[in-house]
Chain A
Amino acid sequence: MLTTHQTYETNIRLPFSFILFGTVAFLFSQMMFLFSGPQMVIGAFRIPSVWAAVHLTVLGWALMVAMGAMYQLVPVAFLTPIWNETVGFIQFLVTALGILSFSASLALKMQMAFFPGLLLTFGFVLFFLQMFMTLRKQAKKNIMTLFVGTALVCLLLTIGLGVTLTFHFWSGTETLDHLLVLKTHVLFGIFGWFTLLIIGFSYKMVPMFSLAHGFSMKLARYVYIVYISGLIVSFFGFFKKYEALFPIGMSLLFVGFALFAYHMFTILQTRVKKKLDRPFLFALLAIGIALFLHGAALFCSFSKNVPIFNILIYAYIFGWIILSIIGYLYKIVPFLWWTHRYSKKIGKENVPTLKQMMNEKWTVVQCSLFVASFIGVLLALIVSSLPLFYIAQGGMLLFSLLFAGSIISVLLK
C-alpha cells in the first residue's frame, strides 16, 4: 500500500505577489483600453496605446496570475514541491519590472521596447527553469504534464517571437518576415500557451471543484493530439504562406477544443457535488464561449478579413482566457488566504469554509458585469460605436475595481 508524508504547500507570499500585481495591472490596462476607444472602434488595433493595453492585460494580468496560480497549483496538482522559492521571488521582481517597463515602452517609445523585452525574457526564463526543474521531479507523468509542459514550450516560443518583433522595431531591420512572426506570436501565445495551460489545469480543477469520480481520461490524449496538430498546421500555413492550410489548422483547433468541451461535459456528469459554486460556473461558461469563438475563427479563416480577426482575438482573450482565470481565481484566492490564516487552526477550533471567505452573490454580480461589458465592447467594435464602447468599457473598468475590492476583502477575513 502506497502511503505518503510529503508536504506540497508553497509559501503563500509567492502566489499572492503575482496575483496582487495582476489585479492592479488589470485595473490599469482597462483604463488604457478606455482611452484607446476612438482608435479601436475604427479597427485600428496595431497602435502603441492598444499594444500597451493588450500586453498589460495579457502579460500583467493573465500571465502573472497564471504564474502565481501555477506556483500554488503545480505542487498540489503534480504532487511535487516547487524547486526553489527564492528563485520564485526573484523571478517575480524581474518579471514585474519587465512587464511595467515593457508596457510603458510600447505606449511611449516603441523602438526601445526591445530592452525591457530582454528583461522580461530573463524573468520568463527563470520561470521556465523553475517549472522545468519542478516538473522534472514529478514521479509519475500524466496527460496534464503534457498539456502544461507543451504550454510552457509555446510560452517560450511566444517570448522569442515577441523579442524578435521588438528587435525589428529597434534595429529597423527584419531578421524574419515581420507579419509571419506577429501571426505566430499571437498563435502560440493565446492558442498555445494560455489555452493549453487552461485545458491542462481544467483536467485537475473541474473534477476537483465538482467532486467528479469514475470518469475516463482517454479522450484527453485525442484532445491533445488534435489541438497540437491544429497549432502545427496553422503555423506551417503562416510559414509557407500557403493560405489553404490556415482553415485546416483552424478546423483542427475547433475539433480539438470541441472534444475538450465534450470531455468536460462528460466529467461533470459524474460529479457528486450537485450544486456547483457560482464563480466556477463562470469558468465553465468560458469554455462555451471559447468553443463558439473557435467555430467563429474557423468560419472567418475562409476570408481575409483582418479586422474581424482582431475582434476575435480580443473576444478570445477576454471571453475565454480572462473569464476562465477570473472564475478560477474566485476559488484560488480564498483558498490561499484560508491556508495562510486557518490551516493551522483546523481540528482545533471552528474555521470558516472556503465558500464563507467570499460573498458568492457578489461574485455573481461581478461576473455578470464582466460578461455584459465584454459583450458590449464586442458589439461596439463590430458596429464601430464609440458611445457604446465607452459605456461597455466603463463597465469593464468598474468590474476591475470591484474585483480588486473582492480580492482585498478576502485578505481582511
Chain B
Amino acid sequence: MGMKEKIIEQLRYVIDPELGINVVDLGLIYDITVNEGNVSILMTLTTPGCPLHDSIVGGVKRALLDIEGIKDVDVQITWNPPWTPERMSEEALRQLGHR
C-alpha cells in the first residue's frame, strides 16, 4: 500500500462528531501531497464557521503523525471550492438517511 493510500485509510478514523461520518466519506479531503515524510493536506469543512474546525484539523494532524515515516503534517483549510453534498460517498449519504 502506497503512502497516499495509507493516509486515506488513516483519515477514515477522523470522524466529524456532529454527523458521525469520517472526513474521507464526507468528501472533505481535496488534496494530499507527500514530500519526504512531510505531508500537506488541503481540505475543507461542511460550512465556514464550523464549530468543529479546530477539533477536526487537530484530529487530521494527530491521525497522520501516527503513520510510520511521516515527520510533519500541514493542514490547510480552504473554502474555495466550497464543499457540496455531491462530494459525499454513498455510505455517508446512507448514514444521513438517503435511500
Contacts and interface: CB of A to CB of B under 8 A. Distances in A.
A2 B50 contact: no
B68 interface: no
A273 B97 CA distance: 7
A77 B98 contact: no
A346 B59 contact: yes
A257 interface: no
Nearest to A353: B20
A8 B48 CA distance: 12
Contacts of B42: 3
A211 B58 CA distance: 22
B15 A274 contact: no
Contact of A204 (B49, B55, B98): B49
A1 interface: yes
Contacts of B14: 346-347
Interface string B41-81: 01000111111111110111111101000000001111110
A272 B16 CA distance: 15
Given A344-B58, A347-B58, A274 B96 contact: yes
B50 A1 contact: no
A3 B81 CA distance: 11
Contact of B96 (A2, A8, A211, A352): A211
A8 to B, nearest CB: 6
Contacts of A5: 75-77
B37 to A, nearest CB: 18
Contact of A347 (B20, B50, B61): B61
B96 A347 contact: no
A207 interface: yes
A351 B16 CA distance: 10
B96 A348 contact: no
Contact of B15 (A9, A73, A211, A346): A346
Interface string A343-366: 110111001111100000000000
Interface residues of A, number: 39
B5 interface: no
A353 B80 contact: no
Contacts of A275: 96-97
Nearest to A346: B59
A335 B51 contact: yes
A35 to B, nearest CB: 39
Given A273-B19, A348-B62, A213 B85 contact: yes
Contacts of B20: 353, 355
Interface of A: 1-5, 7-9, 72-73, 76-79, 204, 207-209, 211, 213-214, 272-275, 335, 338-339, 342-344, 346-348, 351-355
21 contacts: A3-B77, A5-B75, A72-B51, A73-B51, A76-B53, A78-B49, A79-B49, A208-B50, A209-B18, A213-B84, A213-B85, A214-B84, A273-B19, A275-B96, A339-B52, A342-B55, A344-B62, A346-B14, A346-B58, A346-B62, A347-B66
Given A5-B76, A346-B62, A348-B62, 12 more contacts: A7-B53, A9-B54, A72-B51, A207-B47, A208-B47, A274-B96, A274-B97, A274-B98, A346-B15, A346-B59, A347-B14, A355-B20
